Each structure stands twice: as structure tokens, then as C-alpha cells.
């Protein structure tokens, strides 16, 4: 008898599975608007110039590939704290742990909640990034949904969200918030709505668990952190999961961080020790290279300025693509107004296309979009906008 023979095939990942199908597609006009990766006008995901320069410096000066501390390099951790919180929170109250990407941070946050806290529920927006559900379920946390996107699939249902958070939650439940550039909808709260959310989270005694995967892709590095400032103004305890995959273009280097804010330094140290214990049995210690690149850039004024410019270029180009898409759709005569996309932020937009239309785009036009109708705007290109919009016009007719 075979030990492995009866193992069934797992379903492909809902997003990365599409990319596998895309790669196998022979249609020369194929277009992948599924996975959240920035592409330039030539369809490449470039390495930022500041990253290349930092890597060169590392090649010349790096003296060892020895293990990093379990919680990562101190220099990197200091920079992350400043990027996320600036000077709004005393350094001694913040635990920072370097993690393999934002996913690693989310997984460690879930492990920490499961290991140390009594609330075992996490509230996530409906809809949310599909992996949130799986990551939290992997740590045996109960995942519940709060209302987020309005029934028109375009607007933010602030009343539904506040109502769910204030009437259905228990003290100590965690509430997952997307700091900016909500994935998959691109629909974000306004600053005054963030203040309302912060009030409810604080009143109910919930633990804010903030996913910060797109810092700098919404309105700017500091502007995008305003949501976190709004929450920390009302809550002494919170967690932030940062990813530097998108804003440094370091996707495959796996660079991220988990920050935990507590009310005093003794608690912050205790939390640091507990998370280190969890990391030790998971991946032992984090990868060096990507975090060293980030720290090298942020240690150097010129490279930091260059990074700001390159990030602004990506952010602005996505905005332009969004506008160009809306304008080009108007010219197709499909009679379908997409101007609501202009209010959305970041890489993604909820297009309102239904699963049948998404399916038709894939099978008839080799255009790959996530089943929910989420489009990666950052995957569009100026030169192929006409082709994309004509295909969409055909399926919405
Ligand atoms: N959180 C959200 C909302 C994301 O969209 C992503 C990436 O797509 C992540 C977390 C994870 O990022 P990383 O690739 O750094 O693990």
C-alpha cells in the first residue's frame, strides 16, 4: 500500500492559479490583469533603479551571509517603524519583527493572536484579499465578515461596517483593516470615516489588525499612513502587517514586517520575545537580502529620494491608466460608465464585471481577471488599452 497514493489534488490558488493558466495560453494578445504586480509600459515588472544601486553597494560591501537575528536586522526594523508610524508613537512601545513579506507578517500576527490572546475571532471586510481567510484559518482563528462594499459594488458601505463592528463583535476580537488601496475593491474610507472607524474599534475594545501592503500606492507614503494614525490616536494597542513587495518592487525577495504597538515598553519586550518564539519554530529567521536592500536605501538620503521618485512614478502611472481606461471605455460605445473607477485607489479596481463576463473575457479574448471582477489596473498598458476596452465592451453588451 502507498502512503501517498490517496492524496487528492488541492484546488489551485484562486489568483496565482490564473497566472499559471496565463503562462500556458498561446494567444499572442493575452493579457494578465489578475495578480497584483506592477508592470511598466513594456509589460515588464522592473527592478527599481534605487534597488539596483543598493544591491550593487551590497555586493561590494556585504561581509557575511550569516543568519540574521530571529526578529531581523535592527537597522531595518528601525526604518520600518519610522515609515509606518513616523514619530507618532514612542519607539519603546513598538515591537517590530522582520517577516518574509506581508503574508509572513499576517501569518505571524495570526499565530500570536492564537497563542497569546483570548479573542480567537478575526473580522475581515467583505470582500477582502482571499488569502486573509486562509491565513487566519491556518492558525485556527474564526473568520467573520463585516460589510464593506455597498450593494452597488461601487461605494463604501460605512454604515454597514460601523453597524457590524458595533453590534456583532466581542471585546478582544481582532478586526482586519486595509490601511489603504483596499484589495480587491480599491475603495478606501475618507479621513473622517477613518476617525469614525477608530471610535467604534476603541469603544468596542477590538484589536486593530492593519494590513499595509500598498503604502505609497494610494496618495503617498505619509498620506497612506494617516489611517494608522487615526487608529493609533484612539487605540493604545494595535498590529500592522507591512509588505515591501509592491512599493520597492521586491516581490520575490520576501520583505515585510509585523509591528505591534502596546501601551508600554515592558509589554513591547514581552511581545517581542513571544513572537520570536513563534518565528523560531516556523521559518527560524528571516531572509537577509531584500531587507538589506530596503535598509541600504533608507539609510541613504539620495537613494531614499530616488525611491520616493520611482514610487511616485508608479503611483501616478496607475492613476493615468485608470483615467485612460475610463476614457477609452467611453469611446467603445458599450454604454457602460466606468467613471466610478476614478475614485478608487491603488493597483486594483472592482470593475463590476460578473463571473460570466470574466469567464468570457478569458475564453474568448485571453484576458485574465479574477472571478470577482477585480482588475489589476497596474497590469494594463497604454498601447493595448484599445484592445482591452473593445473586449470588455463585447462582453458587457
Ligand atoms: N495583503 C494584501 C492585501 C495583499 O494584496 C498582498 C499581496 O498581494 C499581501 C498582503 C501580501 O504581500 P506579500 O507578497 O508581501 O506577502
Four-point Cα dihedral 379, 394, 182, 204, nearest 10: -160
Sequence-distant (6+) residues with CB within 8 A of 322 are 341, 342, 344, 349, 377
Question: How far is the C-alpha of 82 from the C-alpha of 222, rounded, in Å?
Answer: 10
The reply to whether ligand 1 has any atom less than 6 angstroms from the CB of 146 is no
Cβ(124) – ligand 1 distance below 6 Å: no
- Centre of ligand 1 to C-alpha 39, Å, is 16
Q: How far is CA 365 from its chain centroid?
A: 28
Cβ 181 vs Cβ 243: under 8 Å: no
For cell 555586493, name the residue: 59
Q: Who's near 55: CB < 8 A, 6+ residues apart?
A: 293
Q: State the closest ligand 1 atom to the C-alpha of 183, by its place in the atom list counted from 1.
A: 3
**Joined grid coordinates for residue 291:** 531587507
The minimum-distance atom of ligand 1 relative to the CA of 132 is 1
Which of 152, 267, 165 lies closest to 209, judged by CA? Answer: 165
Mutate to test the pocket of ligand 1, among 18, 38, 105, 131 (most ligand atoms within 8 A of CB): 131
Catalytic machinery residues? 129, 211, 246
Percent helix, strand and coil across the chain, each to the nearest 5: 50, 15, 40
Reported ipTM: the value is: 0.99
Determine the pLDDT at residue 15.
78
Residue tagged 495570526 (cell numbers):
110
The number of angstroms, rounded, from the C-alpha of 149 to the middle of its chain's C-alpha atoms is 17
Q: Which three cell numbers stand for residue 391?
A: 473586449
Question: Within the chain, where are the H helices?
Answer: 16-24, 49-61, 74-85, 101-116, 130-138, 158-167, 191-204, 221-224, 226-234, 265-282, 289-298, 301-331, 355-365, 385-396
Distance of CA 333 to the CA centre of its chain: 34
Neighbours of 162 (CB within 10 A): 18
pLDDT of residue 35: 85
Q: Are 364 and 388 in contact (CB under 8 A)?
A: no
My answer on whether omega of the bond before 127 falls inside 30° of 0, hence cis, is yes
Query: What pLDDT, on the 0 to 100 scale, is given for residue 268?
Result: 97
CA of 6 to the centre of ligand 1 (A): 33
Task: Check: CB of residue 99 under 8 Å from CB of residue 318.
Answer: no
Ligand 1 centroid – CA 176 distance (Å): 13
CB neighbourhood size of 380 (10 A):
24
Residue with cell 493575452: 30
Map grid coordinates 519586550 to a residue: 269
Does this model's pTM top 0.90? yes
103: CA distance to ligand 1 center in Å?
6
C-beta of residue 77 within 8 angstroms of C-beta of residue 70: no
Contact 9, 1 (CB under 8 A): no
* Substitution site in 80, 100, 132, 183 for ligand 1 pocket (most atoms within 8 Å of beta carbon): 183
| pLDDT at residue 16 in the model | 78
pLDDT in tens, the chain (397 residues): 899 999 999 887 777 788 888 999 999 989 999 988 999 988 899 999 999 999 999 999 999 999 999 999 999 999 999 999 999 999 999 999 999 999 999 999 999 999 999 989 999 999 999 899 999 999 999 999 999 999 988 899 999 999 999 999 999 999 999 999 999 999 999 999 999 999 999 999 999 999 999 999 999 999 999 999 999 999 999 999 999 999 999 999 999 999 999 999 999 999 999 999 999 999 999 999 999 999 999 999 999 999 999 999 999 999 999 999 999 999 998 888 899 999 999 999 998 899 999 999 999 999 999 888 999 999 999 999 999 999 999 998 8
Nearest atom, ligand 1, residue 129 CA: 3
pLDDT, tens only, 88-123: 999 999 999 999 999 999 999 999 999 999 989 999
Q: Residue 243 CA: which ligand 1 atom is closest?
A: 15
Q: Which residues contact 360 (CB under 8 A, 6 or more apart)?
A: 395
Confirm if 173 and 119 have CB atoms less than 8 A apart. Answer: yes
Compute the distance from residue 98 Cα to the ligand 1 centre, in Å. 15
Would you say the CB of residue 34 lies under 6 angstroms from ligand 1?
no
Any ligand 1 atom below 6 A from CB of 349: no
CB 69 within 8 A of CB 284: no
The answer for residues whose C-beta is within 8 angstroms of residue 209's C-beta and 6 or more apart is: 109, 113, 122, 174, 175, 176, 177, 238, 239, 241
Q: Using CA atoms, how far apart are residues 208 and 232, in angstroms rounded to an integer? A: 9
**C-alpha neighbours within 13 Å on the C-beta side of residue 94:** 25
Atom of ligand 1 nearest to the CA of 128: 3
- Other C-beta atoms within 10 Å of 64: how many? 6
Amino acid at each position: 500500500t502507498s502512503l501517498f497514493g490517496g492524496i487528492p489534488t488541492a484546488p489551485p490558488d484562486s489568483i496565482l492559479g490564473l497566472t499559471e493558466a496565463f503562462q500556458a495560453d498561446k494567444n499572442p494578445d493575452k493579457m494578465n490583469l489578475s495578480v497584483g504586480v506592477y508592470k511598466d509600459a513594456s509589460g515588464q515588472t522592473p527592478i527599481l533603479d534605487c534597488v539596483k544601486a543598493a544591491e550593487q553597494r551590497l555586493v561590494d560591501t556585504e561581509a557575511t551571509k550569516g543568519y540574521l537575528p530571529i526578529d531581523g536586522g535592527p537597522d531595518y526594523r528601525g526604518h520600518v517603524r519610522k515609515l509606518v508610524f513616523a514619530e507618532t508613537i514612542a519607539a519603546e512601545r513598538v515591537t517590530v519583527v522582520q517577516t518574509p513579506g506581508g503574508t509572513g507578517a499576517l501569518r505571524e500576527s495570526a499565530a500570536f493572536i492564537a497563542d497569546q490572546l483570548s479573542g480567537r475571532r478575526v473580522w475581515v471586510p467583505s470582500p477582502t484579499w482571499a488569502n486573509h481567510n486562509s491565513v487566519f484559518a491556518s492558525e485556527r482563528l474564526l473568520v467573520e465578515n463585516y460589510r464593506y462594499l455597498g450593494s452597488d459594488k461601487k461605494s463604501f458601505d460605512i454604515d454597514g461596517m460601523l453597524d457590524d463592528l458595533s453590534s456583532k463583535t466581542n471585546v478582544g476580537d481582532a478586526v482586519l483593516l486595509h490601511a489603504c488601496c483596499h484589495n480587491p475593491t480599491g475603495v478606501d474610507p475618507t479621513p473622517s470615516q477613518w476617525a469614525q472607524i477608530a471610535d467604534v474599534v476603541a469603544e468596542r475594545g477590538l484589536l486593530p489588525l492593519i494590513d499595509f501592503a500598498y503604502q505609497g500606492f494610494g496618495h503617498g507614503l505619509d498620506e497612506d499612513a494617516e489611517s494608522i494614525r487615526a487608529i493609533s490616536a484612539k487605540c493604545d494597542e494595535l498590529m500592522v502587517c507591512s509588505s515591501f513587495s509592491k512599493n520597492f518592487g521586491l516581490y520575490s525577495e520576501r520583505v515585510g514586517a509585523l509591528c505591534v504597538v502596546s501601551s508600554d515598553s515592558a509589554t513591547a519586550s514581552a511581545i517581542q520575545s513571544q513572537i520570536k518564539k513563534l518565528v523560531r519554530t516556523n521559518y527560524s529567521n528571516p531572509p537577509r537580502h531584500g531587507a538589506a536592500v530596503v535598509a541600504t536605501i533608507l539609510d541613504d538620503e539620495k537613494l531614499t529620494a530616488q525611491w520616493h521618485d520611482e514610487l511616485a512614478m508608479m503611483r501616478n502611472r496607475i492613476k493615468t491608466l485608470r483615467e485612460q481606461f475610463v476614457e477609452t471605455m467611453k469611446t467603445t460605445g458599450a454604454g457602460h460608465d466606468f467613471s466610478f473607477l476614478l475614485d478608487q485607489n491603488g493597483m486594483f479596481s472592482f470593475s463590476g464585471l460578473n463571473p460570466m463576463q470574466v469567464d468570457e473575457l478569458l475564453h474568448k479574448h485571453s484576458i485574465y481577471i479574477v472571478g470577482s471582477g477585480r482588475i489589476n489596473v497596474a497590469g494594463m498598458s497604454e498601447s493595448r488599452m484599445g484592445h482591452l476596452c473593445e473586449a470588455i465592451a463585447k462582453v458587457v453588451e
